[in-house]
Amino acid sequence: MDENKAFLKCARASSDPPRDGVVYRDGRYILGRENETPCLIADGRKYVLTCHGYEPCLYITDGQGRMTAVHNAFNPLDVLDVFQDAGTITSITGFEYDAKDFCRMVEYAAGFSDVGIDDAEKVFAGRPKKKQPAQKKTEPAQEAAELPDEYMPSGCTCPADPFYALLAQYPDTALDCCIVKSHSPGSGPDAHRHALAAACRTLFADEEDGPTWRFDVRKARYRKADADVLFSSHCPDDRLNFRKAFLHPPYPNVYTESDFAKIKDALFPNGTQKLEIYEWSTDWSDYFDAGREWWGTLCLTVYDKGTDRFIIILASATD
């Protein structure tokens, strides 16, 4: 039995959920796990996919033992878990992948010894980054079905999340928020950076005759923040936090502390005790240009361990 046939038959019956087997297959590619190790077979050539525990690198090893390092790429185990559910992933550059895209990128990158993800993505030959993710066939909640499209961004945990219905009641807010599903452990800056890229992919998406903002989250710098700072009513004049950005935009609104409490509770229904928060610089996207005039800018990624999801909070406005 050749190795390709063995790969196709590697799923075994056991008391635990199978970790081996094929995740994606077409006429050219077979993507899956063999002995719990991610592998790709492309036109009969086998590549073993691994990653580094402390660096955002994808390692591709061919049949002769030659290794390629793809920097700022993906953890292949997380990737296969997403593709198992017919989902999509977003690279740190903002490009959205389905399983076939991932196979093409790996096959192309394997021709190098060391390559960045942006160069590996040249295999797509200028294809626009905007790509509609695969949609699961689920019945939307009634309250979300009544919302206009701009309050139902694709790529979120669920377009029917009640938060978006609540946000629609506050059109004068200067905040942009996005709920991003966690496909990997949320702790650490790499997971937060990928969640930020996914949110930007949604919030900064090209719209016909609408605004577009360039972004490169690889350039964003970060520091950890505390929940007390996030929600505090005592924020310096030259800084923004979540509360201040909602209640005091550059143009007056009539929102109250009670309104802010509703927004906070909708985003963090299990409270604020299990939040991991990163505050990011705002010099990596022209989205923030307006706020730099005088009012301020804000970029926060919050991983809620209780709900296993990321909340992305952005703010930038001028009068």
Q: Is position 137 within any domain?
A: no
Going by pLDDT thresholds of 50, 70 and 90, the confidence category of residue 20 is low
Tell me what pLDDT residue 142 has: 31
Going by pLDDT thresholds of 50, 70 and 90, the confidence category of residue 185 is low
Tell me what pLDDT residue 153 has: 39
Where is 184: in which H helix or E strand? none
Examine the domain organization and report whether 94 and 226 are in the same domain: no
Tell me what pLDDT residue 183 has: 65
Give the C-alpha separation, 276 to 272, whole Å.
9
Tokens of 191: 């997971």
The domain boundary residue, chosen from 124, 150, 177 = 124
Q: Is position 133 within any domain?
A: no
For the chain, what is the mean pLDDT? Answer: 78
Examine the domain organization and report whether 176 and 119 are in the same domain: no
Going by pLDDT thresholds of 50, 70 and 90, the confidence category of residue 21 is confident
Q: Is position 221 within any domain?
A: yes
Tell me what pLDDT residue 131 has: 42
Examine the domain organization and report whether 81 and 164 are in the same domain: no
pLDDT at position 1 over 60: no
Nearest alpha carbon to residue 282 among 315, 235, 307, 304: 315
Going by pLDDT thresholds of 50, 70 and 90, the confidence category of residue 92 is confident
Tell me what pLDDT residue 207 has: 55
Q: Is position 12 within any domain?
A: yes
Strands of the chain, DSSP E? 21-25, 29-34, 37-42, 45-51, 57-61, 67-71, 89-90, 96-97, 114-116, 175-181, 222-225, 275-280, 297-304, 309-316
Q: What is the DSSP letter of 255?
A: -
Question: Which of the pair, 164 or 135, is modelled with greater confidence?
Answer: 164
The domain boundary residue, chosen from 93, 124, 155 = 124
The domain in which residue 119 lies consists of 3-124
Question: Assign residue 253 a region: left if phi > 0, alpha if psi is -120 to 50, beta otherwise?
Answer: beta
Examine the domain organization and report whether 160 and 304 are in the same domain: yes
Going by pLDDT thresholds of 50, 70 and 90, the confidence category of residue 54 is low
Distances (CA, A) of 308 to 42, 182, 290, 304: 34, 6, 32, 6
Torsion of CA 263, 269, 274, 277, to 10 degrees: -30
Distance of CA 197 to the CA centre of its chain: 5
Q: Is position 131 within any domain?
A: no
Range with the lowest mean pLDDT among 13-22, 134-143, 268-277, 290-299? 134-143
Assign residue 311 the CATH number of its domain: 3.40.1000
Examine the domain organization and report whether 108 and 221 are in the same domain: no
Q: Is position 311 within any domain?
A: yes
Examine the domain organization and report whether 100 and 177 are in the same domain: no
CB–CB of 68/109 below 8 Å? Answer: yes
Average pLDDT over residues 229-257: 85
Give the C-alpha separation, 311 to 305, whole Å.
11
Q: Is position 135 within any domain?
A: no
Going by pLDDT thresholds of 50, 70 and 90, the confidence category of residue 319 is low
Q: Is position 132 within any domain?
A: no
Examine the domain organization and report whether 197 and 167 are in the same domain: yes
Question: Which of the pair, 32 or 7, is modelled with greater confidence?
Answer: 32
Number of domains in the chain: 2
Tell me what pLDDT residue 209 has: 46
Average pLDDT over residues 242-252: 88
Q: Environment class of residue 20 by beta-carbon count within 10 Å: exposed (0-12), middle (13-18) or buried (19+)?
A: middle
Q: Which of 186-190, 260-264, 290-294 has the highest mean pLDDT?
A: 260-264
Give the C-alpha separation, 319 to 257, whole Å.
22
Examine the domain organization and report whether 167 and 312 are in the same domain: yes
